[in-house]
């Protein structure tokens, strides 16, 4: 049966036109019950039970943690609900689809919007003056009634909704209807009650530990402004919109980037954050200028005094670096005219960034009686997240565990948000548990690849098919002496090189990259999974792959002595590394050697070796040095980071040793040609696709970002010129001290002034904004690691289309779609970096926990009003050393000069200056059971 649906739609130009769509109704749509005698049961998975459950849209949106629990079965998902969820929350939609795809969970999607059987319809038309929401609620009730009538006495069909109006109408229509809370109570499984989200929007009572009597409940936070007032205020320039970024090292300080203000707005203290979470899109009102606060410079203590500022891996960039800190008490203080940075307060939240958080419960007295409800405080492993109130009937079992909690609401009468327990990860302090925690906290997908994804892989063993050697679009490059240079033990080799001396005296130099897109095709389950993951994640003891191992370690890996598909960039260069020509081609290679950086360096350094491969290495290294020097002369920065390397026990996976990672000439050689390939490919794809190329940019740091570096440099008598990357590079070269490490330390501190490089769509920015500041390059992209990064997969497709080797998919011809891809890649890349850092911190803690207190050399990187911040090069860690008693916050024994960055003992016995070397002791302390942390103390 055919029905027509007509509606009006406005296009981008403002023209209104009528759209007519055909809507088919069918009488062959099954109900999904295996025990139904009148429907086709071939796809049915609702089993005989006392009750079948129909859920409305809000239950799916707010109770997904409950629905994902294996105890929740025999659930009917109506197509009207599925579509509403898809439009409102794509993450919840994907989670729901995953449940429905698992037949063992007994969830069935029923197409109520297309169903008719005899004279009974579950499809309904909207009534006059009926809202879309009311129409959909009515459709859900109609479908529930149909199921009850259709299945008769075989079972009871129950509607689950927390909407009071919907429940009232369902009762009046004779439908068996429950709130989520009452239904879960009827299941006689008390542990499921912990999973129930209690949202105020669903007419639930906010859970509080404080006295809940209205007369006794003090209002702590300000009401958020209504959206109409917010919209008008933004247009008038009174309010400013942006994403809230909470300081990773100080949860009481946050920033909101605002184009309308032209600077980041500082938000000091929880009250001014006004219930906003890190990552929320918020609206900020500027505070009066006279109340703007300067940055506080005391070493911070954590909330409620339950620990000091942590010792952790030294930050790499300004996105990770600790700024000056404050504590809960200091947020009430103001300094008149003490800061030029605008200060503000949150007056509204446009979009919430709530997610599941991993952490543990604060220790407290276990409530009496089995199954007693405990009102507990959850402390997230992410310091930026406030404590979360939860109710649990399992307190005794959870108090020493890492658990996952979701946020439900944050009432203005409550100091903390309210949430609910989701699941247990494992015991606090256990290595596997803590490793899982860092993955959850950084939203890393480490689930096994699905059968649908694995079905996209070519059969193994795989070899280059004979017909590929005759493909006019693929060049036979097996005659070239190709080799790879990678870290020791690397199995996912995605790049190889060659350097051939030509009869003309010039060189043919090639970078050959694994041709991943020959196996990962657009729109396939394999491609969709790779795009969602975005990047491989490298932890200390393991790697979480973007692509399945058969591809990463076999089919695409450029291993020695096997033929493999590649996408190549080949230059002809003069002996002085001048580029004469460049071409791009798909090809087939057979690598002659897979070397480690150590092996390649040993060959180049050994004067007794003169075989062709070693000669190629030396020639390539000589050309790389010329290219590197030219980059530096153009203003490319030679920065540094405190990289550390672990020796891991192969059986226990515990760290046996830790030390600084050594960078060799062979590392620089490979890096130089990878950079050149990325720049060459960027120019090619941009010339062909100026509007939707995927590029990578590194924004120029603002002068404010350089202030910490300039202050330190000035304190030690060094003048740095930050006018451009070239002047900075030149003055960094002149920043030398009494020992070789001094210059590297200055470069490490300079690195912290930089923001992260990001992916972007070329059509969204103007060419001057394409610049990569750190590389001093006008254009850049990522092409050389498609096994590990999805960005490179996109760039391979763009390059293939630019060379007319393949057609470009429609999605890559839409700049809004390319921008969405870039946004996800930036998010995933950032999360992978933070997970990697967290893994290093975890293994550093494990190493010191298993050893006695260790003495080490450290460098002072900042002087605070109550102590020093020191960096330990050997272990790559940084943290506070208190000179002033933590409780007193001040001392008569020391004179702390933050302007000159020095600390002097009043009796003249000791003097410390920024960048000085000091001896410190590293040890693990446990202020609470199973909550170890690193502590640094100064040795006399």
Chain segment 635-666, per-residue pLDDT in tens: 998 877 777 777 776 666 677 677 777 889 99
Mean pLDDT in residue range 369-380: 82
Q: Is the pLDDT of residue 865 over 90?
A: no
pLDDT exceeds 50 at position 1:
no
611 and 740 belong to one structural domain: no
Q: How confident is the model at residue 895 (pLDDT cuts 50, 70, 90)?
A: confident
Highest mean pLDDT out of 1-15, 327-341, 846-860: 846-860
The per-residue pLDDT for 606 is 94
Among the three residues 177, 194, 226, which one is the final residue of a domain in this structure? 177
Cβ contact 157:144 at 8 Å: yes
The DSSP secondary structure of 753-774, one letter per residue, reads: TPPPPEEEEGGGS-GGGG-BTT
Q: What is the mean pLDDT of residues 525-545?
A: 94
Residue 126 has what pLDDT?
A: 85
Dihedral of alpha carbons 845, 847, 850, 856, sign: negative
The helix/strand/coil state of 287 is coil
Same domain, 683 and 795: yes
pLDDT at 693: 97
- Can you name the residues that pair with 55 across neighbouring β-strands? 160
Examine the domain organization and report whether 818 and 888 are in the same domain.
Answer: no
Say which residue, 491 or 4, is predicted with more confidence: 491
Predicted local distance difference test score (pLDDT) of residue 208: 40
Residues 551 and 596 in one domain: yes
The total number of structural domains that make up the chain: 4
Residue 208 lies in a domain: no
By residue range, what is the domain housing residue 131?
Answer: 30-177
Q: Residue 430 domain-assigned? A: no
**Neighbouring-strand partners of residue 190:** none
Separation of alpha carbons 727 and 709, rounded Å = 15
pLDDT at 140 over 60: yes
Domain edge (last residue) among 152, 177, 202: 177
First to last CA, the chain: 89
Judge whether 48 lies within some domain.
yes
User: According to the model, what pLDDT value does residue 864 have?
Assistant: 83
Produce one character per residue of 660-680: b if its CB has 16 or more CB atoms within 10 Å, e if not: eeeeeebbbbbebbbbbbbbb
Q: Are residues 45 and 135 in the same domain?
A: yes
pLDDT score recorded for residue 203: 36
919-923 average pLDDT score? 94
166 C-beta neighbours (distance < 10 Å), count: 21
User: Residue 323: is its pLDDT beyond 70?
Assistant: no
The whole-number average pLDDT for the span 687-701 is 96
Please give the pLDDT value at position 494.
94
Q: What is the 3-state secondary structure (H, E, C) of 169-237?
A: HHHHCCCEEECHHHHHHHCCCHHHHCCCCCCHHHCCCCCCCCCCCHHHCCCCCCCCCCHHHHHHHHHCC
In a domain, 11, yes or no: no
The distance from CA 367 to its chain's CA centroid, rounded to whole angstroms, is 38
The predicted structure's pLDDT at residue 650 = 67
Name the average pLDDT for the chain. Answer: 87
> Could you tell me if residue 251 is inside a domain?
no
Residues 197, 200, 203, 204, CA torsion sign: positive
| 872 in Cβ contact with 857 (< 8 Å) | yes
Distance CA 875, CA 530 (A): 34
Instruction: Give the residue-averaged pLDDT of 108-117.
Output: 86
Query: How far apart are the C-alpha atoms of 622 and 669, rounded to whole Å?
Result: 8
Q: Pick the range with the lowest mean pLDDT from 85-99, 193-207, 788-802, 819-833.
A: 193-207
- Domain final position from 714, 734, 754: 754
Helix residue spans in 106-189 (DSSP H): 132-151, 164-172, 180-186
CATH number at residue 920: 2.40.50.140
Based on the fold, state whether residues 813 and 918 are members of the same structural domain: no
Please indicate, yes or no, whether residues 596 and 736 belong to a single structural domain of this protein. no
The angle, 0 to 180 degrees and rounded to 10, between the axes of the packed helices 815-849 and 790-802 is: 150
Tokens linked to 780? 């850049």
Residue 706 and residue 687 share a domain: no
Same structural domain, 730 and 864: no
At residue 116, the 3 state secondary structure works out as: strand
Residues 613 and 677 in one domain: yes
Which CATH number fits the domain that encloses residue 164?
3.40.50.1010
- CA atoms of 237 and 286, how far apart (whole Å): 10
What is the pLDDT, as a whole number, of residue 202? 41
Q: Would the pLDDT of 326 be above 50? A: no
Residue 892 lies in a domain: yes
405-444 pLDDT tens trace: 999 999 988 999 999 999 999 998 888 899 999 999 898 9
464 falls within a domain: yes
pLDDT bracket for residue 587 (50, 70, 90): very high
Task: Count other C-beta atoms under 10 Å from residue 460's C-beta.
Answer: 9
Are residues 685 and 784 both part of a single domain?
yes
Question: Quick one: pLDDT at residue 400?
Answer: 87
Give per-residue pLDDT as tens, 705-727.
898 899 999 998 899 999 999 99
- Residue 823, class by beta-carbon neighbours within 10 Å (0-12 exposed, 13-18 middle, 19+ buried)? middle
Whether 570 is in a domain gets the answer: yes
DSSP-derived letter for residue 552 is I
- 645 and 512 belong to one structural domain: yes
Which range has highest mean pLDDT (428-437, 610-619, 857-866)? 610-619
């Amino acid at each position: 049966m055919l029905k027509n649906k007509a509606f009006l739609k406005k296009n981008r130009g403002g023209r209104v036109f009528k759209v007519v769509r055909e809507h088919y109704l069918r009488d062959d749509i099954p109900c999904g019950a295996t025990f139904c005698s009148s429907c086709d049961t071939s796809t049915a998975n609702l089993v005989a039970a006392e009750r079948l459950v129909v859920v409305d849209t809000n239950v799916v949106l707010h109770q997904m943690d409950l629905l994902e629990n294996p105890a929740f079965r025999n659930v009917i998902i109506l197509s009207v609900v599925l579509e509403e969820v898809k439009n409102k929350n794509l993450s919840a939609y994907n989670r729901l689809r995953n449940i429905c795809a698992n037949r063992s969970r007994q969830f069935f999607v029923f197409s109520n919007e297309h169903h008719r059987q005899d004279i009974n319809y579950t499809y309904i038309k909207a009534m006059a003056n009926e809202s879309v929401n009311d129409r959909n609620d009515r459709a859900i009730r109609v479908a529930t009634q149909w199921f009850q009538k259709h299945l008769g006495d075989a079972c009871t069909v129950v509607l689950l909704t927390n909407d009071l109006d919907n429940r009232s109408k369902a009762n009046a229509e004779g439908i068996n209807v429950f709130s989520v809370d009452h239904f879960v109570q009827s299941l006689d499984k008390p542990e499921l009650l912990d999973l129930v989200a209690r949202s105020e929007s669903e007419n639930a009572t906010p859970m509080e530990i404080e006295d809940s009597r209205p007369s006794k409940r003090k209002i702590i936070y300000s009401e958020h402004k209504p959206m109409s007032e917010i919209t008008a205020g933004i247009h008038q320039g009174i309010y400013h919109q942006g994403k809230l970024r909470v300081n990773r090292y100080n949860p009481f300080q946050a920033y909101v980037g605002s184009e309308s203000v032209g600077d980041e707005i500082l938000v000091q203290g929880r009250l001014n954050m006004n219930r906003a979470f890190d990552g929320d899109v918020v609206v900020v009102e500027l505070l009066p200028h006279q109340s703007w606060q300067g940055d506080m410079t005391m070493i911070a203590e954590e909330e409620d005094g339950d620990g000091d500022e942590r010792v952790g891996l030294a930050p790499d960039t300004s996105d990770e670096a600790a700024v000056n800190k404050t504590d809960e008490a200091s947020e009430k203080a103001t300094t008149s005219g003490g800061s030029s940075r605008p200060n503000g307060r949150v007056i509204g939240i446009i979009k919430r960034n709530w997610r599941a958080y991993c952490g543990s419960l604060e220790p407290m007295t276990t409530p009496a009686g089995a199954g007693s409800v405990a009102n507990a405080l959850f402390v997230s492993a992410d310091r930026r997240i406030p404590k979360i109130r939860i109710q649990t009937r399992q307190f005794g079992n959870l108090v020493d565990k890492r658990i996952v909690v979701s946020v439900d609401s944050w009432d203005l009468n409550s100091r903390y948000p309210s949430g609910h327990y989701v699941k247990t990860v494992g015991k606090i302090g256990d290595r596997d548990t803590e490793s899982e925690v860092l993955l959850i906290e950084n939203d890393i997908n480490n689930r096994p690849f699905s059968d649908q994804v694995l079905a996209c892989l070519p059969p193994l063993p795989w070899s280059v098919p004979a017909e590929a050697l005759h493909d006019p679009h693929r060049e036979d490059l097996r005659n070239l002496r190709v080799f790879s240079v990678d870290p020791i033990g690397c199995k996912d080799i995605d790049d190889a090189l060659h350097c051939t001396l030509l009869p003309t005296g010039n060189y043919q130099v090639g970078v050959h990259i694994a041709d991943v897109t020959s196996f990962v095709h657009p729109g396939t389950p394999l491609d969709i999974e790779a795009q969602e993951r975005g990047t491989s994640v490298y932890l200390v003891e393991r790697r979480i792959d973007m692509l399945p191992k058969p591809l990463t370690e076999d089919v695409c890996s450029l291993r020695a002595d096997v033929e493999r598909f590649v996408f190549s960039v080949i230059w002809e260069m003069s002996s002085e590394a001048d580029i004469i020509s460049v071409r791009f081609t798909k090809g087939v290679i057979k690598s002659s050697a897979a070397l480690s950086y150590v092996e390649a360096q040993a060959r180049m350094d050994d004067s007794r070796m003169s075989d062709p491969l070693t000669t190629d290495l030396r020639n390539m290294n000589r050309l790389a040095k010329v290219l590197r020097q030219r980059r530096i002369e153009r203003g490319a920065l030679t920065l540094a980071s405190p990289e550390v390397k672990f020796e891991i026990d192969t059986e226990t996976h515990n760290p046996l040793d830790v030390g600084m990672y050594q960078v060799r000439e062979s590392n620089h050689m490979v890096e130089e040609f990878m950079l050149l390939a990325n720049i060459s490919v960027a120019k090619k794809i941009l010339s062909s696709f100026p509007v939707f190329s995927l590029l990578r940019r590194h924004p120029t740091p603002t002068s404010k970002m350089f202030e910490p570096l300039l202050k330190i440099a000035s304190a030690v008598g060094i003048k740095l010129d930050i006018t451009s990357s070239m002047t900075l590079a030149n003055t960094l070269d002149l920043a030398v001290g009494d020992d070789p490490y001094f210059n590297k330390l200055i470069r490490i501190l300079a690195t912290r002034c930089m923001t992260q490089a990001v992916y972007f769509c070329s059509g969204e920015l103007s060419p001057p904004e394409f610049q990569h500041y750190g590389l001093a390059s006008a254009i850049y992209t990522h092409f050389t690691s498609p096994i590990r990064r999805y960005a490179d997969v996109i760039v391979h497709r763009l390059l293939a289309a630019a060379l007319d080797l393949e057609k470009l998919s429609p999605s890559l011809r839409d700049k809004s779609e390319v921008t969405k891809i870039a946004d996800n890649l930036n998010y995933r890349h950032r999360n992978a970096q933070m997970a990697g850092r967290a893994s290093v911190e975890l293994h550093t803690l494990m190493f010191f926990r298993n050893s006695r207190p260790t003495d080490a050399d450290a460098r002072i990187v900042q002087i605070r009003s109550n102590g020093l911040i020191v960096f330990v090069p050997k272990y790559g860690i940084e943290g506070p050393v208190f000179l002033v008693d933590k409780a007193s916050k001040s001392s008569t024994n020391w004179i702390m000069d933050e302007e000159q960055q020095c600390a002097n003992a009043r009796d003249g016995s000791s003097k410390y200056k920024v960048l000085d070397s000091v001896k410190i002791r590293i040890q693990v302390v446990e202020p609470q059971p199973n909550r170890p942390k690193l502590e640094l103390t100064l040795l006399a």
